[in-house]
Amino acid sequence: MAESAGVHTERLRLGYGDREVVAGLSTRIPAGQITVIVGPNACGKSTFLRGVARLLRPSSGAAYLDGKSIHAMPSKDVAKKLGILPQSPSAPDGITVVDLVGRGRSPHQGWFDRWSAVDDEAVASAMTATGTLDLADRQVDELSGGQRQRVWIAMALAQRTGVLLLDEPTTFLDVTHQVEVLDLLVDLNRTQRSTIVLVLHDLNLACRYADNLMVFSAGELVAEGAPREVVSEDLVREVFALSCRVVPDPVADTPMIVPIGRHDPQPQRGPDAHDVSSEEELRSVVPEPAPAIRNKAVAGIDEQTKRFLREARFFLLATANTDGSMDVSPRGDVAGGLWFAEDGRALAFADRAGNRRLDSMRNILRQPRVGMLFLVPGVGHTVRVNGRARITRDPTLLEHLATSEHRPVLATVIDVDEVYVHCGQAFARSALWEPESWPDRTGLPNPGELFKAQAALRDGQS
């Protein structure tokens, strides 16, 4: 296993003739992680990668490999630590897969060195890792696009470098082969702890596979970090000039960008001049909460919280569909109608009759993240539980949740991510638990009247 080398740049300027493309960039590539570079066309992504790989000499500044300027190092020393797979590499006509992969061993051989058992093992390991052993005797130009990319990656693996740079390795591949290549890079990173840097155009795949995301615009690095911390609707709009919605990926829970085109349905009302349109503007009005408040959540349910939840006969369950639609369902049960895992990392409740309960269960199947708000009658604070939900038919659990009036056929289990207490300011402002402040119920519309009024509005809108 090759040791991951350290890669960083200091005031790196790159260009072609008089045209500067990368403007004085200083950054450090996290060792042992997958870094994905994204940005619009002609923003400097590939140019930056070429500068780091010593394929393009900087006009000023430098790229460093293990603390040494990469352009001052002997070529063979660089090739033993850093490998690059450029865009659309070409192989000599008629070359076989095993011969091409074997060329990855060139940096390790001198003028008079013979092919060794170490070379055999490196090539065999690289072809095993990429699933190309059965292609060994085939000519490279006979392979499919996905197979060729795996062969080129095998050649880079045979080089046994701690750093691997790939410029748009999924270009021209169908989605199956794109995922196949990216999964292979994850395997390499996890088993060899290789530092992998690649350029991608697909933002959603970049968010799913990157440990570290670098966002380029007009030759500058405008954002860097974990995708969840970096990607926002504002960023996509400013960098890519694209309106979108950013929602959780239903598979990986990473940011997923949903583009909004000119012909997509748009809200009838445009933004008002007084609408808050960015987080920066929001923060200018609403300050960041104190750390003690911001960090109050815990990933489990303690005994005191269990006592509170057991008395909470009513709670709200919030779920979301993958299309962004929401459902907030009121749930009620007898006191003690919850089940808790012994370690406090999960709770469960029985499915009870309700008009819209199927909506929330559908949402859970499609996107399992949920939020719950538990209320105890007359108590001026609530408890919030966030987590991942799953629907179960476990007979032991169903028996535990059964009552004398009802034996459930389904239950919902919440694997707890966050638990925290909400203070009672909302109850105090609304005087919810003060009977003397309650309205005269005889003056309120009953359910039938509400249903008819809503039906009339719906009919008028159709």
Does 120 fall in a domain?
Answer: yes
- Residues 134, 233 within the same domain: yes
End-to-end CA separation in angstroms for the chain? 65
- Residues 252, 301 within the same domain: no
Backbone angles phi, psi at 99, to 5 degrees: -70, -40
Does 451 fall in a domain?
Answer: no
Q: Alpha-carbon distance 338 to 343, whole Å? A: 15
CB contact at 8 A, 170 and 177: yes
- Residues 201, 316 within the same domain: no
- Residues 328, 232 within the same domain: no
What pLDDT does 283 receive?
79
The gap from C-alpha 372 to its chain's centroid, in whole angstroms, comes to 23
What pLDDT does 69 receive?
93
Does 452 fall in a domain?
Answer: no
What pLDDT does 213 receive?
97
- Residues 111, 251 within the same domain: yes
- Residues 89, 237 within the same domain: yes
Q: Alpha-carbon distance 410 to 401, whole Å? A: 10
Supply the CATH number for residue 221's domain: 3.40.50.300
What pLDDT does 197 receive?
96
Does 252 fall in a domain?
Answer: yes
Does 29 fall in a domain?
Answer: yes
- Residues 303, 213 within the same domain: no
321: which residues sit within 8 A by CB, 6+ positions away?
Answer: 327, 362, 363, 366, 367
Total of domains in the chain: 2
What pLDDT does 431 receive?
84
What pLDDT does 373 receive?
94
What pLDDT does 414 receive?
95
- Residues 158, 204 within the same domain: yes
What pLDDT does 397 receive?
92
* Full residue range of the structural domain in which residue 368 is found: 294-437
- Residues 251, 378 within the same domain: no
- Residues 94, 198 within the same domain: yes
Q: Alpha-carbon distance 88 to 101, whole Å? A: 16
Does 313 fall in a domain?
Answer: yes
Does 184 fall in a domain?
Answer: yes
What pLDDT does 40 receive?
93
pTM score, whole prediction: 0.58
Does 88 fall in a domain?
Answer: yes
What pLDDT does 394 receive?
93
Residue by residue, pLDDT tens for the chain (462 residues) are: 455 668 999 999 999 988 999 989 999 999 999 999 999 998 999 999 999 999 999 999 999 998 999 999 988 888 888 988 888 788 889 999 999 999 888 877 765 567 788 888 989 988 988 889 999 999 998 998 888 888 988 888 888 888 999 999 887 778 888 898 899 899 889 988 889 999 999 999 999 999 999 999 999 999 999 999 999 999 999 999 998 999 999 999 999 999 988 777 755 555 666 788 787 888 788 887 767 666 677 889 999 999 999 998 889 999 988 877 888 988 888 777 899 999 999 999 998 776 556 788 888 998 999 999 999 988 888 999 999 999 999 999 999 998 877 788 999 999 999 999 887 778 778 888 888 888 888 888 988 888 888 888 878 765
Supply the CATH number for residue 343's domain: 2.30.110.10
